[in-house]
Amino acid sequence: MDEELWGFHLFGANFASDEEAESYAFEQWEPEPPETASDTEYSDWEERNPTWRMADELEFHMDSDFVELPGGLDGVVSQISSPAERADVIAKGASFTHFIMIGTNREAIWHDRRSLSSQVEPVTRLPESTATITYLGKYNC
């Protein structure tokens, strides 16, 4: 496998704009309270932030450093090493406006929120489709 290509989970979605895709795929932060905010106000802000719709829907703790919006289908296909996998993505991806790639490494998805254990364990469950995104598969692995 090419050293520059990374293993990733691929999702397809239909968003009205790139901004909408970004607000779904990445963490969102409210503006930080002013210096005059009370300790309680600041603590409440910390509790509310960040929000991350994709991580909430997938029910994983994730690191946004390993999430990518590659642009269109060509941007995805260019990052796949196998001709058979490229053909698979082209066939599956034609109906989507946006794609989201999440690394398959342990740092990308690091805890399953469905786990009953309070300990962080290796993630064994594959990501799944949600109401917003469709799971297309695991590539370059």
Q: Is the dihedral of CA 29, 32, 38, 43 positive or negative?
A: positive
**CA–CA gap between residue 17 and residue 54 (Å, rounded):** 16
Tokens encoding 44:
């409440």
Instruction: Kindly tell me the burial class for residue 7, based on how many C-beta atoms sit within 10 Å of its own C-beta (0-12, 13-18, 19 or more).
Output: middle
| 61 closest CA partner among 127, 8, 6 | 127
The stretch 64-77 carries a mean pLDDT of: 95
Between CA 85 and CA 8 the distance in angstroms is 12
Q: Please give the model's pTM, rounded to 2 decimal places.
A: 0.88
Lowest mean pLDDT among 27-31, 61-65, 96-100, 110-114: 110-114
- % residues pLDDT > 90 (the chain): 81
pLDDT tens by residue, 105-140 = 988 998 888 887 766 667 789 999 999 999 999 999
Q: Given the structure tokens 């690091």, which residue do they identify?
A: 110
